[in-house]
Amino acid sequence: MTDIRNIVVLTGAGISAESGLNTFRGPGGLWEGHRVEDICTPEALARNRALVLDFYDQRRAALATVAPNAGHVALARLDREWQGGLLIVTQNVDDLHERAGAERMLHMHGELMSAFCEHCGHRQRFGGAMLDGTRCGGCGAADTLRPDIVFFGEMPYEMDRIDAALGAADLFVSIGTSGAVYPAAGYVQQARHAGIETLELNLEPSAGSYFFHETRLGPAGELVPAWVEEILGK
């Protein structure tokens, strides 16, 4: 890989799984034993608010028990040392990239450690439980907070920023993603169409693996540090 200046990195559940964080989508398409329709859609929130809020309260509590792994740490190093453009786009709702030290990044599917007020649209950092009548820090309304998570049927965040970064990129790297969830699954095709170099780092080939110029298979905790070492030329 030569003449690389601007990099877009996409990360998925695979990188966080190595920290001991369960991936939401498990056997049979269930998320932690629940159907997606029961805990990750606007209709589910309207139908059984307590169930949805409790589900994400439990995910938030589980997040506090894990730590960033070598893959997160390596990407944070890339963020610190890479002199060109960089955007780390994560599909994950955990905060492990931030805890490792990454700053040039965004959460396209939202964040567990953030709450969104359905009344006024205010967003706030949130680390507790939403079942206790908590109030919005913006308008003061009670019981209007929901997890700042992009539910199925809702538009992912910062799509324009992602498209702009891909448009200026020389290299697109996908790490630990299944290649099954759109629009993120389509980024490799978008990159190939634009003539951008593409690299997949994954435990096993993704659904779109054949679109990549190169695929390297193995644990993210091993592959990502090795790639970062390579791209930094050290």
100 close to 74: Cβ distance less than 8 angstroms: no
Residue 18 assigned to a binding site: yes
User: Is the four-CA dihedral 58, 177, 158, 182 of positive or negative sign?
Assistant: negative
Taking each helix axis as running N to C, give the angle between helix 220-232 and helix 70-81, from 0 to 180 degrees, rounded to the nearest 10. 20
Residue 27 assigned to a binding site: yes
Residue 40 assigned to a binding site: no
Residue 227 assigned to a binding site: no
Active site residue 72: no
The one catalytic residue among 109, 122, 193, 213: 109
Q: For residue 4, what are the CA distances in angstroms to 8, 13, 28, 84, 120? A: 11, 26, 40, 8, 43
Residue 233 assigned to a binding site: no
Residue 87 assigned to a binding site: no
Residue 178 assigned to a binding site: yes
User: Is the four-CA dihedral 118, 119, 125, 127 of positive or negative sign?
Assistant: negative
CA angle 61, 67, 72 (to 5 degrees): 125
Residue 31 assigned to a binding site: yes
Coil, helix or strand at residue 201: strand
Residue 189 assigned to a binding site: no
Which residues does the annotation place in the binding site for NAD(+)?
12-31, 91-94, 176-178, 202-204, 220
Which residues does the annotation place in the binding site for Zn(2+)?
117, 120, 136, 139
Which residues does the annotation place in the binding site for substrate?
56, 59
Q: Catalytic residue numbers?
A: 109
Which residues does the annotation place in the binding site?
12-31, 56, 59, 91-94, 117, 120, 136, 139, 176-178, 202-204, 220
